[in-house]
Amino acid sequence: METRNAQLLNISTNDTHANFTAKAEPKDSSVALQAGLAVTLALITLATTLSNAFVIATIYQSRKLHTPANFLIASLAVTDLLVSILVMPISALYTVSQTWTLGQVVCDIWLSSDITCCTASILHLCVIALDRYWAITDAVEYSKKRTPARAAGMIATAWVIAISISLPPFFWRQVKAEEVTSCNVNTDHIFYTIYSTFGAFYIPTLLLIALYGRIYVEARKRILKQAHKPGKRLTSAHLITNSPGSVASTTSLNYGTNDSSSCDTTSSANVSQVKVTVSDALLEKKRISAAREKKATKTLGIILGAYIICWLPFFIYTLLVPLCDSCFHPELFDIFTWLGYLNSLINPIIYTMSNEDFKQAFHKLIRFRCFRA
């Protein structure tokens, strides 16, 4: 009897231990998953902050970059920096914990900052595209209008539109007496959802596609025009020979002067050689200009592609969820939100790494910081 009781007690103890182990393992894996997610989101936030801060510092330090076009890029970096400081840290905490613990007031401020800063970032892309469109299609006239004051006006317009999109939810916000455990934009107002998504994404996206399409076509025209344009030699080549090639001109200079003295021959050859070299330098300059146009055209595709990949899933989700809430998994919202935030990290990388002046100024800034350290 005692043996049987001991066996039953042993079996009961083993079952309890097995149940405890089964419960502990999912809990441990959940904690590990949360820790990994927290580290990943923290790294993305830190990288976004540092990259945009370096862009601002680079433009501030380098006088060469003090142009209206670069002021727009600096303003974009400021906007993305605000996203990384005001929005991403709280979003990371909310994403990891899956519950809101900061109260109603912080929730309202955070949502307003999120909508305003992210919309302003998107609208800055439109402002930069519009500036480049005017610069490439009406270069002479726009060069006179392209002033810091005009850039400031374009930046102010982007912020006004962004704020006008973030304010409406405050008019129908209801103060909850109970403890707030979630913090989301109210999607019950379908008209506001349409207004905000179209104002913050769909209309700017159509504008970006139209502008970059026109810029691409114009850039291609310039590339093809420069590629098919015959090389113009200086008139010095015609003093010796009618051959359009610099090698042929040099050869005739060296071997086709029998009646001249050795000194005159040498002097004539040197002068003509210098002039031909200058001519080749002009052709090289045109070739470099065509290469830059081609690189700029490629950069436009990268900018537009990165923007659409980052933000399109979020705004499709935002537009369709009010129509069919059960059609989407809630965790998709967090994934699409952080994919959109990722655009604030990509922007400074694309806009600076595609510009040689930015690269040089950035390297000088890094060397200066290292030297001071």
Whichever domain contains 120, its CATH number is 1.20.1070.10
How far CA 371 is from CA of 54, 358, 365, in Å, comes to: 17, 20, 10
Residue 311 lies in a domain: yes
Residue 202 lies in a domain: yes
What share of the chain in percent tops pLDDT 70?
66
CA distance 362 to 369: 11
The one-character DSSP state at 180 is: P
Number of residues that make up the chain: 373
Count CA atoms within 13 Å of residue 85 on its CB side. Answer: 11
Residue 26 lies in a domain: no
Does 332 score more than 50 pLDDT?
yes
Higher pLDDT, 175 or 184: 184
Mean pLDDT (the chain, rounded): 77
Q: Would you say 260 and 268 are in contact if contact means Cβ atoms under 8 Å apart?
A: yes
Band of the pLDDT at 244, cuts 50, 70, 90?
A: very low
Amino acid 91: pLDDT: 94
Does 263 score more than 70 pLDDT?
no
Amino acid 95: pLDDT: 92
Higher pLDDT, 192 or 227: 192
Nearest to 298 by CA among 369, 370, 220: 220
Amino acid 71: pLDDT: 93
User: The tokens of 2 are what?
Assistant: 């005692």
- Mean pLDDT, residues 330-339: 89
- Mean pLDDT, residues 356-365: 71
Residue 273 lies in a domain: no
CA distance 66 to 81: 20
User: The tokens of 299 are what?
Assistant: 């950069």
Residue 261 lies in a domain: no
Q: How many CB atoms lie within 10 A of CB 353?
A: 13
| CB-based contacts of 147, cutoff 8 Å, min separation 6 | 68
Distance of CA 307 to the CA centre of its chain: 7
Does 162 score more than 60 pLDDT?
yes
- Mean pLDDT, residues 52-69: 88
Residue 9 lies in a domain: no
Does 199 score more than 70 pLDDT?
yes
Amino acid 349: pLDDT: 87
Residue 169: domain span: 33-228+279-371
Amino acid 253: pLDDT: 41
- Mean pLDDT, residues 355-370: 68
| Domain total in the chain | 1
Does 36 score more than 60 pLDDT?
yes
Amino acid 75: pLDDT: 95
Residue 343 lies in a domain: yes
Q: Find the range with the poorest average confidence among 48-62, 201-215, 317-331.
A: 317-331
* pTM score, whole prediction: 0.75
Work out the burial of residue 122: count CB atoms within 10 Å of its CB; fewer than 13 is exposed, 13-18 middle, 19 or more buried. buried
Residue 267 lies in a domain: no
Higher pLDDT, 340 or 141: 340
